[in-house]
Each structure stands twice: as C-alpha cells, then as structure tokens.
Structure 1
C-alpha cells in the first residue's frame, strides 16, 4: 500500500554540506497519526519545512500521495494541509472571509463550504466571532482560525506543528475530537508536539529526533524497547531515556 507521506534518506539544512537532518527515513500511512517528537533544535521544524517544500533536500526523497514536489507540484501541495505553531492571518479579513478565501483557493463548492464552515465554527465555538477581524482576536482564537481553515480543506495529510499551543482546554478537546474523526475517514497526520502525554493517547507511531537523526521510531512498544524500557512504560519515560536524560540513555 502506498504511503501518504514517505521520507527516505533525507539530508538537509540551511547550509550546503552542513545538514541539520541526517539520513532520516519514515512513513505516514493512510489513516495513521504519527508523532514527531524531539527537544528544541532536534530538527523537527527543519523536517517539516522540507516536507512542505520550503527547503530543498540536499540528499534523499520526499513523496506526498505518491509524488515528489518536482514530479507533480499541484498534486503534492493539494494533498497536504499545514498548521504552523504561530498563527498567520490576514489582518484585514474576518474569520468567515478567511474560510471563504480558503474554499475558493481549493475549489470547494459552495454547499460543501457552508456545511463545513458551519460545523467547524460550532465545534470551536467561534460562530459569534465569524464577522470579527483577525487583529481583534486573541492568540488562541487566531489558532482556531488556522485550524478551521486547514480542516475545511479535508486534505489527505495534515502536518501540524504544536497544535495545542495557545488553545484553552475546550479548544484542545475539540481539536482532538476533530483529528480522531478525520482519522476515521482515512486522513493522516504528522504532529510535532512537546505535550507527550496527550499525543501518546492518539498517535499510532512516533519518530523521535535527536540532533537531526532518528533516535527511535515505531509504536510505543517499539520506542520503549529501543529505549531499553519494559512494555507499558510511558512515551515521556522512553523519550527521556532516548535523549540522554536517563541512566543508560543516549545519543
């Protein structure tokens, strides 16, 4: 079965021949949620930038929905939706206008747009704010607008960087429920997050980065085994061991 995302032997960074990412390989399958975890500076953001096509690999290959960016840029880009850590909105547009613009760019028909927009605004409790300009919103509300725009698309692959940052408890719950429902439809997720206890409950597999290399990968049981811990240990404990914080740890 074709992976929705395939990263194979990736080397890349900001300076030629000084790669931040070294020999990174992993996949995200259809209907799968994969957690990308690591300390600050481990290479998570650099990996995401390569997947989005914002950086060109020095070596290796990235495929989204079976194609590389150079083979079919249209299919590649339309197959993924990205939610950044920091909300980026148009100050002169209202919430509803942001959603309308996204629908027009992605060719979503009017009936589908109305149904999806209504459902998303209700889920994130933003219906009363639909006519508000983004400059008048709190950071948490701005993050919700970014999430609503991404989920309006119903893309095959979602790449989400620190999805819970700035959200209130109800917002986090709404997002988790939304991701679970999209996952059931066959959508896939690559989630970068420091909140390990939360993603442990939802992710199928994990990629643990340490200094630009894969320290461990696989299911939670796989991660625990690679960390030298018994089955049933938490992701937090395994991560702590793998990045050198525990006895016998170490990369």
Structure 2
C-alpha cells in the first residue's frame, strides 16, 4: 500500500524578499516512518526552509502541506500536526521542567493518563528526573536542550522538525535522543532533521536532502545521492563535498 506523505513541499520559492528569493523551487515529501536528513552549508537555506514549514514565513510561490492541509486552510490542524526542536533552546525562566511538559501536554490535548506515562518516561530517558522541579533559568544549555526535545516528543505528533538537535547534548543525551527518534519513526512518525554531523545523519536517516545555494542539488537514499554525485561508493560526507563543490575541490562561499 502506498503511504501518503505527512509533509509535502511543492515548488517552494521563498525568502525575505520576492526580489531576492533564498529558496528556489524546492520539491520534496516525507512519508510516515521516514527520517530525512536536511544537509547543506551555512547559508544554504536550511533554516529558511524550516521557517517556511513552521509557518513563520510565507512562500513567494509553491505550497506546503502537512497531512494534506495547508496553513491557510486550517491553521490549528496544521500547527498541531508537528513538533519543533530549535537549534537554540527557548524556555520560560520561571517555569520548572515539569511545568514546561505540563504546558505542552495541555497545548496538544494529551490525555492525563498518557501525559503521566510519557512525561515520566522522557524524564527517565534523558536523565532529568532529579531536575524536574528545577527552574529552567537554573539549567545548563544542554539540559535546556533536553527539555526542548522532551516537549517535542511528549505529544507524539505525526511530524517532527528538528534543527541541529545535538548541540549542547552530552553523549547520554545524544544516545537517548537517537534511540527515541528511531522509536517514534518506527511507530509511524515522519522526521525532518537538519544537522551538520553527517556521520550520524548517514547512520540514522533513510533519505537525504542536499541543499545548496537555495536549491536541492540531490535527494534520495544514500545509493541515490551517491549516483547523483557520480561516486557509487562514497560516504555521505564525501557525497556532500562533491555536490557542493562541483567536484572541483573548492567549496563555494556560503
């Protein structure tokens, strides 16, 4: 049975000015049970792509839909269908870890019984049980990032959008995150993950989007992007290097 895409980006052209678009005709989709890695140099347009998906920027052209719905058609359904983990943690200073989780549970209408089980599991998985009553202002950057990740995982939405999730995490936190991402992927969720750690992306992602100067220069499985780079045996890092340098050995200015 052919699965319908959870996230579909069709002909997306976007940016801060219609006269100088950052993104040019992006086309891709992510299906249930798929983890897709978004990779590119600094300035390639990864953050701009994510902002458009989140609804923080309006496309110049093209359409973005989640579960077949655009933001304009049903903003509540669209926004409740995804969870987002930003590169930099954003928390309320005078709220505890547990209060952040509770707020997220209410925002996504998570049933109380499920909330109790999921929050306890996440606190344990990320080794944050002892910190559940600590104010976020008293947490380290790594712990704040753990709180952001736990809040994203709590409601179990059909789509996860994760931007540079490993920054500030300790090895246990990275392992816990990756194990949980595999778990939610296997349960049927779709995941879009942007990261510069290509070895990890290669190991865990099913497909890859290679973004360069606002254009998708390759996409597909590792075998498919290898073929598009002209090297059928290369690692993802080598494939990426070939695609963004044009094979001439000189990386362009991002």
TM-score, reference length from structure 1: 0.97
Aligned to 2:139: 137
State how far apart, in whole Å, the 2-side matches of 1:97 and 1:204 are: 35
Match of 1:243, SS? helix
Post-superposition shift, 1:129?
0.3
Tell me which of 213, 216, 222 is aligned to 2:215.
213
Match of 1:216, SS? strand
Match of 2:56, SS? coil
Contact 1:241–1:250 (CA under 8 A) maintained in structure 2: no
State how far apart, in whole Å, the 2-side matches of 1:163 and 1:215 are: 24
Match of 2:217, SS? strand
Post-superposition shift, 1:143?
0.1
Aligned to 1:167: 169
State how far apart, in whole Å, the 1-side matches of 2:167 and 2:246 are: 25
Size of the aligned set, in residue pairs, is 250
State how far apart, in whole Å, the 1-side matches of 2:222 and 2:199 are: 12
State how far apart, in whole Å, the 1-side matches of 2:250 and 2:144 are: 39
Alignment of 1:196-235 (within 5 A): 196-230=198-232, 232-235=233-236
State how far apart, in whole Å, the 2-side matches of 1:154 and 1:172 are: 19
* Cα displacement string for residues 37-61 of structure 1 (whole angstroms, at most 9, x for unaligned residues): 0000000000000000000000000
State how far apart, in whole Å, the 1-side matches of 2:16 and 2:229 are: 30
State how far apart, in whole Å, the 1-side matches of 2:27 and 2:145 are: 30
Aligned to 1:52: 54
Aligned to 1:115: 117
Aligned to 2:63: 61
State how far apart, in whole Å, the 1-side matches of 2:29 and 2:156 are: 20
Alignment of 1:171-186 (within 5 A): 171-186=173-188
Aligned to 2:244: 243
* 1:76 is the counterpart of 2:87: no
* 1:7 is the counterpart of 2:9: yes
Match of 1:153, SS? coil
Match of 1:128, SS? helix
Post-superposition shift, 1:75?
1.2
Match of 1:170, SS? helix
* 1:19 is the counterpart of 2:25: no
State how far apart, in whole Å, the 1-side matches of 2:63 and 2:38 are: 18
Post-superposition shift, 1:104?
1.0
TM-score, reference length from structure 2: 0.96
> Does 49-58 or 14-23 show the bigger shift?
14-23
Over aligned residue pairs, what C-alpha RMSD do you find?
1.3
State how far apart, in whole Å, the 2-side matches of 1:233 and 1:242 are: 12
Q: Which ranges of 4 or more aligned residues in structure 1 deviate by more than 2 Å? A: 245-251
Match of 2:4, SS? coil
> Does 237-246 or 199-208 show the bigger shift?
237-246
Post-superposition shift, 1:5?
0.4
Match of 2:245, SS? coil
Contact 1:242–1:249 (CA under 8 A) maintained in structure 2: no
Post-superposition shift, 1:110?
1.2
> Does 236-245 or 30-39 show the bigger shift?
236-245
